[in-house]
């Protein structure tokens, strides 16, 4: 019996089969692109960057202490050219991976987002690890960004002479100071808590009897119209106010035709080369109350500074190398972040 071979099925061609396979592959590729795009969108939602807050002044105030998104951008315009000249973004020049850890997402942050990170560190006092997660960089990179920006803004903003000429202070003198027209600066002190040093000598030097804790102390000067015009270095909490006044350097910029306004009990009459206004030593109850009310404004100014949560707790010893500049920069920024305390 003869067995006949089946006829070839000419309806199914190799070309048709390949075409269907290509269509399936193309569909899968497009689906993969959609999924990848969705994943990138979710990743961007979890990472912090300035444009996320463009429509929310409340969030800008919370994260940076600038009054609004517009205020933040205006400040950026002031420093942008200097920033781009003096530095390139830390994450653009420094590898964002550390050791063998490759599990962490690594991004290159534009300088404006590095500034955002730095301001969030001051404003919220967040741990470095938390900031690293939010911005998608490594903790060592966060530390580098904070140190870099502290140094940069310290020299940039501090280089713009805080101390105003007498003529400029007089031109902006608020009506409330009409009885004290020669007032150049209102002085006050503030302390920040600091981790207890390990050796006994440093402990005794840093211990503040007023705060019953190791602290660092600074003297801050405010012009009558509300701008911070003087920031001393940080001194050990055990130092007296008189010693801080002597070592702060303010005596060098005071002139005989100026006056300073100080708190009651702050006796620097024999140290200051100018007139000293002090509530407890003024003749007349009305004058005493008037000066006390004017001094409240410098307390409000310091309250703005202390609004940075970094200074709410006890600062760790790990920031000792940069704390002086961090504190000074926080003071400098008060002049840019808010509106005036008083109307000139």
Q: Per residue in 255-274, pLDDT tens?
A: 999 999 998 888 899 999 99
Q: Is the pLDDT of residue 5 over 60?
A: no
**Percentage of the chain lying above the pLDDT 90 cut:** 47
Residue in the structure block whose two tokens are 């590729």: 29
Length of the chain: 344
Q: Which residues contact 123 (CB under 8 A, 6 or more apart)?
A: 62, 63, 64, 65, 307, 308, 309, 310
End-to-end CA distance of the chain: 118
Between CA 45 and CA 65 the distance in angstroms is 22
Superfamily of domain 166-337: Ribonuclease H-like superfamily/Ribonuclease H (3.30.420.10)
pLDDT value, residue 168: 94
**Torsion of Cα atoms, 64 then 69 then 73 then 78, to 10°:** -60
- Phi first, then psi, for residue 219 (nearest 5°) are -105, 130
- Confidence bin at 98 (pLDDT 50/70/90): very low
- For residue 312 the two structure tokens come to 């709410």
Q: Is 19 exposed, middle or buried (0-12, 13-18, 19+ CB in 10 A)?
A: exposed
Pairing status of strand 183-193 against strand 259-261: parallel
Query: Across residues 283-305, what is the average pLDDT?
Result: 71
Q: Is the pLDDT of residue 165 over 80?
A: yes
Between CA 246 and CA 275 the distance in angstroms is 16
Helix axes 111-124, 128-135, angle to 10 degrees: 140
Cα 216-322-129 angle, rounded to 5 deg: 105
Helix axes 323-337, 139-159, angle to 10 degrees: 60
237-242, long-range: CB < 8 A, 24+ apart: 237/191, 237/194, 237/206, 237/207, 237/208, 237/210, 237/211, 237/213, 238/204, 238/205, 238/206, 238/207, 238/208, 238/209, 241/189, 241/266, 241/268, 242/266, 242/267, 242/268, 242/271
CB-CB contact of 60 with 69 (8 Å): yes
Q: Is the pLDDT of residue 29 over 90?
A: no
Q: Is the pLDDT of residue 291 over 60?
A: yes
pLDDT value, residue 11: 52
Which pTM was predicted?
0.77
Average pLDDT of the chain to the nearest whole number? 80
Q: Is the pLDDT of residue 88 over 60?
A: no
Between CA 66 and CA 338 the distance in angstroms is 6
pLDDT value, residue 290: 61
- Confidence bin at 13 (pLDDT 50/70/90): low
Q: Is the pLDDT of residue 281 over 50?
A: no
Between CA 236 and CA 183 the distance in angstroms is 29
Q: Where in the chain is the domain with CATH 3.30.420.10?
A: 166-337
pLDDT value, residue 28: 77
Task: Report the chain's C-alpha Rg in angstroms.
Answer: 30
Q: Is the pLDDT of residue 341 over 80?
A: no
């Amino acid at each position: 019996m003869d067995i006949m071979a089946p006829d070839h099925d000419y309806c199914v061609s190799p070309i048709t089969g390949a075409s269907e396979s290509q269509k399936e592959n193309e569909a899968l590729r497009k689906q993969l692109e959609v999924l990848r795009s969705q994943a990138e969108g979710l990743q961007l939602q979890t990472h912090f960057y300035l444009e996320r807050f463009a429509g929310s002044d409340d969030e800008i105030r919370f994260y940076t202490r600038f009054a609004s998104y517009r205020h933040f951008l205006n400040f950026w315009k002031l420093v942008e050219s200097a920033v781009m000249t003096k530095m390139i973004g830390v994450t653009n020049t420094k590898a964002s991976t550390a050791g063998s850890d490759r599990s962490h997402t690594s991004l290159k942050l534009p300088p404006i987002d590095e500034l955002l990170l730095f301001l969030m560190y001051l404003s919220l006092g967040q741990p470095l690890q938390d900031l690293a997660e939010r911005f998608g960089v490594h903790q060592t990179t966060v530390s580098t960004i904070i140190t870099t920006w502290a140094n940069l803004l310290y020299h940039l903003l501090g280089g713009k002479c805080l101390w105003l000429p007498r003529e400029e202070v007089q031109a902006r003198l608020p009506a409330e100071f009409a009885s004290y027209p020669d007032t150049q600066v209102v002085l006050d002190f503030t302390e920040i808590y600091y981790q207890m040093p390990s050796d006994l000598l440093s402990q005794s030097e840093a211990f503040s009897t007023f705060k019953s804790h190791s602290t660092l102390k600074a003297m801050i000067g405010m012009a009558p119209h509300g701008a911070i015009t003087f920031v001393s270095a940080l001194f050990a909490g055990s130092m007296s106010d008189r010693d801080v006044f002597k070592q702060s350097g303010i005596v060098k910029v005071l002139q005989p035709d100026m006056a300073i306004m100080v708190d009651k009990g702050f006796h620097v009459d024999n140290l200051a080369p100018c007139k000293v206004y002090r509530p407890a030593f003024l003749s007349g109850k009305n004058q005493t109350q008037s000066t006390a009310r004017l001094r409240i404004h410098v307390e409000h100014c310091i309250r703005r500074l202390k609004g940075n949560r970094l200074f709410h707790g006890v600062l760790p010893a790990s920031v000792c190398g940069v704390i002086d500049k961090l504190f000074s920069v926080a003071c400098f920024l008060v002049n840019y972040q808010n509106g005036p305390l008083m109307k000139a």
